[in-house]
Amino acid sequence: MTPDPNRRIEIDGAHNVRDIGGYETAEGRTTRWRTFLRADNVSTLPQHSQDTLTSTIGLQTVIDLRRQKEIDDQPDNVLARSPHVVYHNVDIVGDMVFDQADNTEPRDKIHASYRNMLDWRGSKFGEALRVMAQPGALPAMYHCVGGQDRTGLISALLLGLVGVPKETIAADYTLTAEYRINAYLGPNPEIPDADPAEYTQKTYRARNCPPEVMLDTLEYLDDRHGGIEAYVRSTGVTDSEIAALRVALVE
């Protein structure tokens, strides 16, 4: 899928700020632009980048999906102190510990971590969705560290609620490989042996966000939870809140 040029919001201080608008649903409608934004770490944005989000886009709500330790590592959390947005911390991961066994394939590790988050932290996914469903909350931006895993799952739930095809949801997930690649070029403890010239989007995608992981996760939601809508209801999101999200999500 060729990214829509409107999708990425290029600002200094972050690599992976993008819009989930412009996607066609199964009913032939289109997700609304400049309403739901997904992002990597935006806690230290310079003022002109903050102004792009708050003044140009009109951002009203920021949902920080990180753990407290991750937040503590970024003491200058500018959007948490901004007078222009309402800031929420919704810790998706909590005290979960993920399997770091060396003999496990990266794809299997990621998929297992997604299943565990969805199964064990459902109330937190529901909390994030309920924040965005409130009157006056939009446009909203939700973010974690890389804008890939926790943010990717929230995006999948939102897009799935309005019937965006699974293949499109998976393609949106893998766009992180295109937008985050520059953050991984050069010395990086996660890939100490990588040659930046050879560490391509393809390599990043295969290692970090292969589309098959998201497709497997969506299938898991179908098999284990009865689909995305049933899962969202199980997290505490009400019928009226689901309706509000759907109205806001599609044109």
Give the full edge-to-edge strand order of the sheet including 61-64.
18-19, 36-39, 140-143, 61-64, 86-89
Predicted confidence (pLDDT) per residue in 137-166, tens digit: 999 999 999 999 999 999 999 999 999 999
The pLDDT value recorded for residue 65 is 97
Count of alpha carbons within 13 angstroms of residue 73, beta-carbon side? 7
The pLDDT value recorded for residue 109 is 86
Count of alpha carbons within 13 angstroms of residue 77, beta-carbon side? 22
Predicted confidence (pLDDT) per residue in 38-94, tens digit: 999 999 999 999 999 999 999 999 999 999 999 999 888 999 999 999 999 999 999
Q: Is 3 a residue whose pLDDT tops 60?
A: yes
Q: Is 191 a residue whose pLDDT tops 90?
A: no
The pLDDT value recorded for residue 114 is 96
Which of the two residues, 6 and 220, has the higher pLDDT score?
220
